[in-house]
Amino acid sequence: MTKRTIVVGTRQSQLALTQTGHVIDDLKALCREHHLQFDFEIRKIVTKGDRILDVTLSKVGGKGLFVKEIEQAMLDKEIDLAVHSMKDMPSVLPDGLINGAVPRRVDPRDALISRNNLSLDELPQGAKVGTSSLRRASQLKAYRPDLVLEPIRGNIDSRLRKLEEEGFDAIILAAAGLLRMGWEHRITAYLPAEVCLPAVGQGALGIECREDDAEVRHLLSLYNDSETAVTVAAERRFLGVLNGGCQVPIGAYATLLPDEGASDSSGRQRLQLTGMVGSADGAKILKESAEGVDPTELGEQVAGRLISLGAAALLQETGE
Ligand SMILES: NCc1[nH]cc(CCC(=O)O)c1CC(=O)O
C-alpha cells in the first residue's frame, strides 16, 4: 500500500514557513512514535493579506485576509492541513473545517527590541516606539504617556530592519515569533503581563484540517496540548463576547492554576483568566481577572465584568 502524503499549506512569510517546518518535524516524530505511515509535502499559498502588506489591515478587512485562500485550498482538497498563529485565526471557522490541534504554547509575552539595549523604563523621554497594534499602543501609553507610538507594518524581518532605518528608538514584537525564528537575541526586554497583557492566543498555534479527514484528525489529536487548548479557549471566548472582529485594544491571558486538589468532580483543573480593554490613547484601561473550571464560562464571566465596568463604551469609541 502506498503511503499517504499529507499536504501542508502555508503562507510564504519567513515566520509561516519556519512555523510550518517545526510543526512538520513534530508530526514526523509523532508518526515514528505511534507507527503511523505518512509523508509530508509543503505547498506555498499567497494570500490577499500578503499582497497588501503595506496597507493598514483594519482598513481592508482584518485578519481573515491571511487565511481565506488557505481555507479554500483545504476545502478543495489541494491541501490537508495548515498551521496558523492562533492570534491570527478567526474565531469562527468555515463549515467543514476544524481546529484539529493546539500544540504547546511558547512564551506569550510581548518583547521590546530597542536600539541601545534599553529597557522600557530606560527609554528616553518622548522616545519613538513602533507598533501597529492598538493593544500594545494603548497599554504602553498607559504605562509611559510620554512615549510616541508610531505604526510599523510588515513581517518580523522587515520590522526589525525598519527599527534601524526609520529612526525608531524601539519596536514591540511578540516574543514567540522571534523565538521561533531563532532571533530571541534581538530582545532587549520582556514586557510583563501586568504592563502589557498579550493578545488572545499569542504564542500558540492552531492546526486547521478538514472535519471529515479522520486520518489527519487522529494524528493531530496526538499533537494537541490540553493545557494550551483550554487556556486559549478561555481567552478566545472572552474575545468572542467583546468583539465581532472590530479593531479595539483587547488583550487576555489565561493560565492553569497549580493543581492542589483544586479540580472539579470531573477532574478539570482551575484556570485563571485576565482580560483587558483599553482606549486607543491608553487614558482608560479596564482589566479584570477571574478563576473557574469551564473555559467558556470563564471567558464570558471576565468579558461580562468588563462590560459592567464600561467596556461597551470603549468598544464603540474605537471600533468604528
Ligand atoms: N500580528 C502578526 C503576528 N502573528 C503571529 C505573530 C507571532 C507571535 C505568535 O505566534 O503569537 C505575529 C508577529 C507579532 O505580533 O509580533
Q: Any catalytic annotation for residue 80?
A: no
Q: Whose CA is nearest to atom 15 of ligand 1?
A: 174
In whole angstroms, what is the distance from residue 227 CA to residue 103 CA?
9
For the chain, give every residue range classified as CATH 3.30.160.40.
Answer: 230-314
CATH of domain 110-191: 3.40.190.10
Q: Which grid coordinates belong to 42?
A: 509543503
User: Cβ contacts of residue 250 below 8 Å, gap of 6+?
Assistant: 135, 199, 200, 239, 242, 243, 275, 276, 277
pLDDT of residue 268: 82
Cell numbers 499569542: residue = 202
For the chain, give every residue range classified as CATH 3.40.190.10.
Answer: 4-103+204-224, 110-191
Name the residue among 189, 40, 41 with its Cα closest to residue 112: 189
Ligand 1: which of 15, 112, 134, 190 to mutate, judged by most atoms within 8 Å of the beta carbon? 15
Q: Quote the ligand 1 centre to 264 CA distance (angstroms).
A: 34
pLDDT of residue 263: 63
Give the three-state DSSP class for 7: strand
Q: Whose CA is nearest to atom 2 of ligand 1?
A: 88
Name the residue among 173, 234, 232 with its Cα closest to residue 204: 232
Model pLDDT for residues 69-91, shown as the tens digit of each residue:
899 999 999 999 999 999 988 88
pLDDT of residue 32: 98
* Pairing label, strands 250-256, 4-10: unpaired
Q: Quote the ligand 1 centre to 8 CA distance (angstroms).
A: 20
Q: Which residues of the chain have pLDDT under 50?
A: 58, 319-320
Q: Whose CA is nearest to atom 6 of ligand 1?
A: 177
CATH of domain 4-103+204-224: 3.40.190.10
Cell numbers 509530508: residue = 40
* Cβ atoms < 10 Å from Cβ of 300: 17
In whole angstroms, what is the distance from residue 167 CA to residue 161 CA?
10
Distances (CA, A) of 53 to 13, 40, 122, 249: 11, 29, 32, 21
CATH number, domain 230-314, options 1.10.10.10, 3.40.1260.10, 3.30.160.40, 3.60.10.10: 3.30.160.40
Give the three-state DSSP class for 143: helix
Ligand 1: which of 56, 65, 197, 202 to mutate, judged by most atoms within 8 Å of the beta carbon? 202
Q: Which residues line ligand 1 (CB under 6 A)?
A: 85, 87-88, 156, 173-174, 176-177, 202-203
pLDDT of residue 243: 76
In whole angstroms, what is the distance from residue 3 CA to residue 222 CA?
19
pTM comes to 0.92
Model pLDDT for residues 187-221, shown as the tens digit of each residue:
999 999 999 999 999 999 999 999 999 999 999 99
Helices of type H across 61-133: 68-75
Q: Whose CA is nearest to atom 8 of ligand 1?
A: 177
pLDDT of residue 68: 85
Give the three-state DSSP class for 207: strand
pLDDT of residue 315: 81
Q: Quote the ligand 1 centre to 173 CA distance (angstroms).
A: 7
Residues 147 and 282 sit within 8 Å (Cβ to Cβ): no
pLDDT of residue 244: 56
Ligand 1: which of 58, 63, 88, 129 to mutate, judged by most atoms within 8 Å of the beta carbon? 88
Q: Quote the ligand 1 centre to 179 CA distance (angstroms).
A: 11
Q: Which of 39, 50, 76, 88 is catalytic?
A: 88
ipTM of predicted complex:
0.94
pLDDT of residue 320: 41
CA-201 nearest atom, ligand 1? 11
